[in-house]
Amino acid sequence: MTAEESATYTDFALINTGGIKQDGSDAVNELSYLILDVVEEMRILQPSSMVQISEKTPDSFLKRALEIIKTGFGQPSVFNTDAIVQELIRQGKSVEDARNGGASGCVETGAFGKENYNLTGYFNLTKVFEITLNNGFDPQTGKEIGLKTGVASSFKSFEELFEAFKKQLKNFVDVKVKGNSVIERLYAEHLPSPFLSLLIDDCIAKGRDYHDGGARYNTSYIMGVGLGSITDILASVKYNIFDEKQITMQDLLKALENNFEEDETLRQRFLNKTPKYGNDDDYTDEIMKFVFEAYYDAVSGRPNTKGGFYEINLLPTTVHIYFGKVVGATPDGRKAAEPLSEGISPVQGADRKGPTAVLKSASKMDHVRTGGTLLNQKFTPHLLAGEDGIEKLAHLIRSYFKLNGHHIQLNVVTADMLRDAQKHPEKYRDLIVRVAGYSDYFVDIAVDLQNEIIKRTEHKSF
């Protein structure tokens, strides 16, 4: 991965605290709290920190973590131990190895010390759709790089279009896996890791290198990027072309080609009058599930060259920005080169029904069949104020984890973000602030009141 693609130099070490012991009992102890103290005091960005919350984790530990999150530097992130364990067991790990495992890097699960699990590459789901819509042709590079799955205007139904997308998707996963196999063999034959092989279980017993199937478990992950974007794109095509018949496929293609230059009204329709993922609306959430299943079917269970298997996870790191740059305008109202959605979060500004709706939407996919999903959720400080705010947030997270959610990262809205919202209201249509006894969309209130809220946000000493 290049610096241009990643735009970050973090090393992705992740300190796991909390969780459960090998025998399944709660693992929170004095040291867990001490680690949180250090995280709070040092505010270190690397290594990153996270807490594992299981059903058995005491509330006091979760609340201690939330107090630190509230200070607004994005850490620790919060993981669901019970989901992680289920994910690992489904992948074939023993119960003990699963309980000793956790998440590393961004959000990916692994059996610590016993597994070689590799993130083998990011997968641009939205790009695949762009190529599908152009019958195998990539309008950005002018090259034919996909299959000929049919001219877009020839599709009689959404289902036909989706079938074409699935074919295209499978084809690109084929290409990806072919390339991966070469890379895996290169590592196995020319880049052995004797030191790592000493540390990872069964390499010595098997007499094989870490990169050559020596580890007890060997998993290759392909990371799906832009789930929110691809869902909104497909929902928009289904809704506006096939269901409501607002526009024709030809008109859509023309508008996309021109980057909505002469179609601002159409773009606004896509943005404001079209169902969006993240609102607990089955219309879009069902489409999200179709995409999930298609991606899962295309990737999961394929053998790699190390005796292990491919699995999916849904995390973007920072690549959703780079991937956005190589995709033209899309039917969800996104203009060319703008970022895609990240992880399994809704498209920025698309979720308008608050956090419970986002969590409900996100939980409709089967997290257990992934090796990790990433959900970012913005919170305005008023939602976290006081002991009450923390208490309710703790309940919110526990509910998401009951629904098998894998991970949630809470980002507290800062004064700087609000200033950015004043400049770019379109990106912050979902941002609700507490004015006083009532709440309102930040971008809708008068400038002097916005300024006052910015001041309030700045001065709130958490």
Please report, as ranges, the residues that interact with other proteins according to CB under 8 A.
Answer: 264-265, 268-269, 271-273, 280, 353-357, 360, 382-383, 385-386, 388-389, 391-392, 395-396, 398-399, 402-403, 434-440, 444-446, 449
Q: How far apart are CA 253 and CA 233, in angstroms?
A: 13
Residue among 40, 55, 87, 108 flagged as catalytic: 108
Using the minimum distance from each CB to other proteins, give the nearer residue, 148 or 273: 273
Residue 368 vs 435, nearer CB to other proteins: 435
- In order of 61, 388, 398, 421, the CA distances from 166 in angstroms are 44, 46, 35, 37
Q: How many Cα neighbours within 13 Å face the side chain of 65? A: 28
The per-residue b/e assignment along 251-266, b for 16 or more CB within 10 angstroms, e otherwise, is ebbebbeeebeebeeb
Shorter beta-carbon distance to other proteins: residue 391 or 416: 391
Which residue is catalytic, options 40, 87, 106, 184?
106
Identify any residues that bridge with 118 across adjacent strands, giving them in sequence order. 220
Give whole-number Cα distances, 218 to 122, 177, 314, in Å. 18, 15, 19
- Closest CB to other proteins among residues 28, 266: 266
- Shortest Å, Cβ 274 to other proteins: 10
Beta strands in 358-412 (DSSP E): 376-379, 407-412
As measured in angstroms, the least distance from the Cβ of 280 to other proteins is 6
Look at residues 223, 1, 220, 222 and name the one whose alpha carbon lies nearest to residue 115. 220
Within its chain, how far is the Cα of 31 from the centroid?
30
108 given a catalytic annotation? yes
- The residue (of 318 and 439) whose beta carbon lies closer to other proteins is 439
**Shortest reach from residue 383's CB to other proteins, in Å:** 7
Choose between 83 and 383: whose C-beta lies nearer to other proteins.
383
Under a CB-based contact definition with an 8 Å cutoff, are residues 446 and 433 in contact? no
Minimum separation from the CB atom of position 389 to other proteins (A): 7
State the minimum distance, in angstroms, from the CB of residue 363 to other proteins: 9
Q: Is 407 helix (H, G, I), strand (E, B) or coil?
A: strand
Which tokens hold the place of 392?
């309710």
Query: From the CB of 354, what's the least distance to other proteins, in Å?
Result: 4
Residue type, 71: T
**DSSP code at position 13:** -
- How far is the C-alpha of 112 from the C-alpha of 93, rounded, in Å? 11
Nearest to 306 by CA among 170, 193, 169: 193
User: Active-site positions?
Assistant: 106, 108
